[in-house]
A and B are shown apart, each in its own frame.
Chain A
Amino acid sequence: MTWKMSKISKMSKMSGALTPGGEREGDLSGAAQQAMILRERAANSVWRKLCRNKSAFAGFVIVAVVVFTAILGPSLVGKDPNKMNFVNMYAKPGERGMILGGDEFGRDLFARVVYGARISILVSVGGMAIGAVVGVLLGLISGFEGGMLDSFLMRVMDGMFAFPFILLALLLLTTLGEGIQNVILAIGIANVPGYARIVRGQVLFVKNEEYIKSVAALGASSVRLIFAHILPNVFSQVIVYATLNVAGAILTEASLSFLGMGITPPTASWGGILKSGQDCLQTAPHLALYSGLAILLTVLGFNLLGDGIRDVLDPKMKT
């Protein structure tokens, strides 16, 4: 963009010099050009493009609401999600001052769903971050170095890919033990191959570009080449994948908790609430209904946002 601006600025100066009105007019024309460039730049910014993309904007709103709920919701609800009151056991939505009703221990379902948002976002973003950092590093090294190291790393990634994602996370969690930090770690490790493969593929393409060869010929070190020149060029793909990956991580966390392997009770998690909903589907279907809707809506939000970011950053991949 800087290059583009300087080029257009030079062109505007040239057009100013040719204007019969003299130097002052040429300056005005340059200023107008500059303003036009800034307007164009603002209009073409990723944010503006995302706002223009209706589904991406809808996704952003959903994600923003969920993140806001995760951060501030618990203090706004003002109820303890773990406080049992057997009088409120299986209370229907709207009964006894409980918007979404009560669970099997008479706990407020609304408070638990709101707290569940915090757990879901924490685990999914944490898992995504671990997977992204390790996967991107491995992908960069593998793609840049090539040779035996590349072959070895990619075969390990292929091996990890051979396991269904949920199964790999389940196995890792069985080894690591229960608890929120282990759920994050398990999802993070299971995420690594996805990032590594995407980044490696991009690096293989980018490292053969002329500008990378030029920087290498100028004597840039491998570390500088990788982090200052290659990484920024593969970053858009990583962002798209990461956004969609958060959606997948939310589903994985909920699945693990549903199987009784993820977040341990009494901590509120959407998958955990669904599990208790399964046991009392006949008497209290609202338990399964609302927690599932929360998962569906959040995952839908991240998917819409991820699709939108992909359309903006890489229109060729548009579906």
Chain B
Amino acid sequence: MSKIILKRMVQLIPVLFIVVSIVFAITRLMPGNPAMIILGPQAPREAVEKMTLEMGLDKSIPEQFGKYLLGVLRGDFGKSYRYNRPVLTILLEKLPNTIYLAGASILIALLVGIPVGIVSACRQYSIFDYASMLAALVGVSMPPFWLGLMLVLVFSVRLGWLPSIGMGSFGNGIGDVLSHLVMPAFCLSTGSMANFARVTRASMLDVIHQDYIKAVRAKGIGERTVIFKHALKNALPPVVTVIGMRFSFLMGGAILVESIFSWPGMGRLIVEAIGNKDYAVIQGSVLLMAFIYVLINLIVDIAYTYLNPKITYETERGAR
């Protein structure tokens, strides 16, 4: 097991290097002189030249990349010209808000998606199965930003039940926090919910038609035990993989959902940074999102290995 984890971690190094390279290349190719953008179009030429030297933009591209890479390794993502603060400080302020929103979304998606998938598989070709799979397909196809607007229209504008912007404060009670969280979290969770339901159903169907499940049933063991003790455990690994993959979608979805609900997280920060051409913030936040995604996938890989004893056994046997 530890060998597998170590191997996966070593494999991450080139991926992370490429992620840093892509972010560096894209931001260097963005139009406009960063020094000019910081100082404004009316800035005197001397000031722009001085800023260019200070930022190291006069150096060769490999030199700039080396400096940037060292900075990233030290956790130095530069300074935001708009906020006049270190990018890392801003990111550490916004990241928990996005994790909080994404975590709530994943939780809703898991709590709804997996049970729906299990029931659909157990009652294959029933009305529930058809209805839930159609709903899942609609959920996958629904643009989250449209759903967000429709939720705001109904629950904020028409009914006035829920606040449409911000994330509330614990100082105003848990009700305030939850009322701010419901719409963005639900909006962000629909795609994942639908995806989990579809994958769980497919995986469960695959398992419950296997001989060992028939054998367990033939022993006269109750259906509930068959499903939850024998089938679900073996149907879970593909679902776990999808959870990891969905995290990327959630991060992407957060960009849109946070913009609609004015949620003070990473997604909104990126959109604002792109609008303001705050390159240091763009670089830092994109890198952080990519790192988180890679990390989540590593955790998923490890969880998958843990859940699927076949992998561990084969690897250990191969290692001997």
Residues of A bordering B, CB below 8 Å: 155-156, 158-167, 170-172, 174-175, 177, 247, 251, 254-255, 258-261, 274, 277-278, 281-282, 285, 288-289, 291-292, 295-296, 299-300, 303-304, 307, 318-319
CB <8 Å contact, A164 and B252:
yes
Q: Check B142 for interface membership: any CB of A closer than 8 A.
A: yes
Q: What is the interface of chain B mostly: helix, strand, loop, or mixed?
A: helix
CB <8 Å contact, A285 and B18:
no
Chain B 113-162 interface residues, beta-carbon cutoff 8 Å to A: 137-138, 140-143, 145-146, 149-150, 152-153, 157
Sampled A-B contacts (14; CB under 8 Å): A159-B17, A162-B19, A162-B294, A163-B22, A164-B252, A174-B26, A255-B143, A260-B275, A261-B274, A274-B146, A281-B149, A288-B149, A289-B150, A300-B137
CB <8 Å contact, B26 and A155:
no
Residues of B bordering A, CB below 8 Å: 14-15, 17-19, 21-23, 26, 29-31, 137-138, 140-143, 145-146, 149-150, 152-153, 157, 198-199, 201-202, 248-249, 251-253, 255-256, 259-260, 270-271, 274-275, 282, 286, 289-291, 293-294
Give the residue of A166, A172, A174, A254 whose beta carbon is less than 8 angstroms from that of B255. Answer: A166
CB <8 Å contact, B143 and A295:
yes
Task: List chain B residues, Cβ under 8 A from A172.
Answer: 26
Task: List chain A residues, Cβ under 8 A from B14.
Answer: 155
Most buried by B among A164, A255, A307: A164
CB <8 Å contact, A156 and B141:
no
CB <8 Å contact, A167 and B146:
no
Q: What is the distance, in angstroms, from A156's C-beta to the closest C-beta of chain B?
A: 6
Add 18 more A-B contacts to A164-B249, A288-B146, A303-B140 (CB < 8 A): A158-B15, A159-B22, A162-B291, A164-B251, A166-B256, A167-B251, A167-B255, A167-B286, A170-B274, A175-B30, A175-B31, A247-B141, A259-B256, A281-B157, A285-B153, A288-B153, A299-B141, A303-B137
Give the CA-CA distance A171 to B274 in the complex, in Å: 8
Q: What is the distance, in angstroms, from B153's C-beta to the closest C-beta of chain A?
A: 5
Task: List chain B residues, Cβ under 8 A from A251.
Answer: 143
Task: List chain B residues, Cβ under 8 A from A274.
Answer: 143, 145-146, 149
Q: What is the interface of chain A mostly: helix, strand, loop, or mixed?
A: helix
Task: List chain B residues, Cβ under 8 A from A170.
Answer: 255, 270, 274
CB <8 Å contact, A155 and B15:
yes
CB <8 Å contact, B149 and A162:
no
CB <8 Å contact, A175 and B149:
no
CB <8 Å contact, B293 and A164:
yes
Q: A164-B293, A303-B141 are in contact. Are A155 and B18 (CB under 8 A)?
A: yes
Give the CA-CA distance A166 to B252 in the complex, in Å: 6
CB <8 Å contact, B256 and A319:
no
Give the CA-CA distance A174 to B29 in the complex, in Å: 9
Give the CA-CA distance A260 to B276 in the complex, in Å: 13
Give the residue of A156, A165, A304 whose beta carbon is less than 8 angstroms from that of B18. Answer: A156
Task: List chain A residues, Cβ under 8 A from B22.
Answer: 159-160, 163
Give the CA-CA distance A174 to B58 in the complex, in Å: 23
Give the CA-CA distance A295 to B147 in the complex, in Å: 11
Q: In the complex, what residue of chain A is closest to B136 when comparing beta carbons?
A: A319
CB <8 Å contact, B293 and A162:
yes
Q: What is the distance, in angstroms, from B151's C-beta to the closest C-beta of chain A?
A: 11
